[in-house]
Structure 1
């Protein structure tokens, strides 16, 4: 067997064994956002994320509520309610907020804590 043939067989085997790794971790707000490719004027492919649309908060199933206390931080609220500080964006989505710091700026504000988009459940 020639070296070229062996290299080709190895390349074929490796290409079949490869898996697609999503560009963002599962707890990222962009995990399910599709990646698209545009070809620029020089013929070079440019990868980009398609737009992520915010879910309708009314369609999200609320399972808890948090009343903002002095010194609250959204990452700590997310850790307590969702067991992951990086899921703070789910609280933002549930409360239709683009700027996370706004959610904890007013002491006494009630924050909705919801299930992930698409999960069924009854209202709280």
Structure 2
């Protein structure tokens, strides 16, 4: 597993540095501000759009009995919290659909397809 630059972890620990850690699916999402009638500002994360599936670089993986998105992410990226990268690379609404049927072939993002947060084992 590749080492994370020491300053990246330090920046993630600073409150207000950015709203989401670097490994979050929302790290690059735009933050919007809604003003209530009384002037109060409410911050929110704007919609996160996925790249078109045909532009993503993936490698095929045949689902085996016992596979789960988090276990695949641990094996492929060294971080079970990166399951969302696999979900983003496949046209499913529920991540559990990815591995609910043994023998199904799903796409696993390759480093060129999803450069940020890529930590290979």
Instruction: Give the structure-2-normalised TM-score.
Output: 0.75
Q: Is 1:78 aligned to 2:67, yes or no? A: no
Matches within 5 A, 1:43-62: 43-62=39-58
The question of 1:98 aligning with 2:82 is answered no
> How many residues end up aligned between the 2 structures?
101
Counterparts of 1:84 and 1:36, CA distance in 2: 29
Counterpart-to-counterpart distance in 2, 1:80 and 1:55: 24
TM-score, normalised by the number of residues in structure 1: 0.73
Give the alignment partner of residue 114 of structure 1, picking from 105, 109, 114: 109
Out of 31, 38, 47, the residue aligned to residue 35 of structure 1 is 31
| Structure 2 Cα separation of the partners of residues 108 and 51 of structure 1 | 33
Q: Greater helix percent: which structure?
A: 1
Structure 2, unmatched stretches of 5+, are 1-13, 117-121
Q: Which runs of 5+ in 1 are unaligned?
A: 1-17, 120-124
Q: CA deviation at 1:38?
A: 1.1
Q: Considering only aligned residues, what root-mean-square deviation do their CA atoms show, in Å? A: 2.0
CA contact (8 A) 1:60 1:118 kept: no
Consecutive aligned runs of 4 or more in structure 1 exceeding 2 Å deviation: 115-119
